[in-house]
Structure 1
Amino acid sequence: MRLVHLLRAVAVELHLRGGEFAGRNGLHPTDLRALIRLLDADRAGETVTPGRLGEALKLNSAGTTALLDRLERLGLVRRSRDGRDRRRVLLMVEPKAIELGWSFFGPLIAGLVRAAEEFTPAELDVVQRYLTAALHAAAPPDAEQGPAPG
């Protein structure tokens, strides 16, 4: 249970930092989750449509449109037509969003990377296995897992 309680404490701290970032930048917490989902997809080489983003965030079509309108108005996300299928809209994170994220989360990420350097590769493999299992245990049974961080 110590690991469960420690993981909960980490989750709470990260949630508080995310809330602070959102508040400082005029974002709703769902806006931040959308940006994270889009950044993870970009890292994984996935394309994301408004429908897929809405599914991932458990939003209806109107809620997804309002979210994207906000993020686009702030210059954080861009919608563009798919070059192969003009009916399909693709979502991209703008460089401004990446810069904004790094300016706030960069020190946190650097600290996490430094902390990981204190472990052997074998120890990090065990941590990754546990966190992956914890992610699957925490998600609803029908949830699609996003890309593994990395």
Structure 2
Amino acid sequence: MPAPEMEIVHLLRAVAVELGLHSARFASRNGMHPTDVRALITLMDARRAGEEMTAGRLGAALGLNSAGTTALVDRLERAGHVRRVRGEGDRRKVLVEVDERAVALGQAYFGPLIDRSVELLRGYDERELAAVRSFLRGVRDAAGREGE
């Protein structure tokens, strides 16, 4: 029997694999590349945080070079998933925004999984939620440092 810590690490790895497969199925069913899905998630996260997203910032978040980022944004724009808009304060700045149709498409597919996850979390008390939150943030931060 593995140590409890290793059991949790193995479960986390299994969750990551299953989430990756779930995302890949969504991409495949919608004629997208897996990077397209990661880009849309990044754009939705930025919108939720009230942050502007330029193509350069999006590319950096995804680990893409300038040419790859341009191809990605062009592809997503042609598909109607994103739009380029001028910045409010600086009209020279071009921002990339996720289109509501892409949000609705993602919600239709990922919504049941999100709802089930929320339902599971409602079974935890505040102390347990704080522990889960702390653990996930720590793993996220560690993985981010490993990529540098």
TM range (shorter): over 0.9
CA distance in 1, matches of 2:37, 2:24: 9
Paired residues in the alignment total: 143
Q: Does 1:37 align with 2:42?
A: yes
Distance in 2 (CA, whole Å) between partners of 1:140 and 1:32 is 22
Superposition TM-score, scaled by structure 2 size: 0.93
Alignment equivalent of 1:84, drawn from 83, 89, 92: 89
- RMSD value over aligned CA atoms? 1.1
Bigger relative CO (Cα 8 Å, ≥ 6 apart):
1
Structure 2, unmatched stretches of 5+, are: 1-5
The letter of the residue matching 2:20 is H
CA deviation after TM superposition for structure 1 residue 40, in Å = 0.4
1:97 aligns with 2:102: yes
Instruction: Map Cα deviations across residues 66-119 of structure 1 (whole Å, 9 max, x no partner).
Output: 100110011110101113222210111100001000110010001001110111
**How far apart are the structure 1 equivalents of 2:106 and 2:38?**
12
Q: Residue 140 of structure 1: CA displacement?
A: 2.9
Letter of the 2:141 counterpart: H
- 1:53 paired with 2:42, answer no
The reply on whether 1:2 has 2:7 as its aligned counterpart is: yes
Q: After TM superposition, give the deviation of residue 141 of structure 1 in Å.
A: 5.1
> Residue type of the partner of 2:140?
L
Deviation by residue 1:19-74 (Cα, 9 ceiling, x = unmatched): 00000000101000000000000011100000000111111111111100110011
Q: Which structure carries more helix by proportion?
A: 2
Secondary structure of 1:140's aligned partner: helix
* Corresponding position of 1:73: 78
Letter in 1 for 2:53: V
Identity among equivalent pairs (%): 56
SS in 1 for 2:145: coil
**Distance in 1 between the 2:72 and 2:112 partners?**
27
State the alpha-carbon separation in 1 of the partners of residues 146 and 19 from structure 2.
24
Whole-angstrom distance in 2 between the partners of 1:47 and 1:118: 35
Q: 2:141 aligns with which of 117, 136, 141?
A: 136
Structure 1 unmatched runs, 5+? 144-150
SS at structure 1 position matched to 2:47:
helix
**TM-score normalised according to structure 1 size:** 0.92
Which residue of structure 1 lines up, in the alignment, with residue 3 of structure 2?
Answer: none
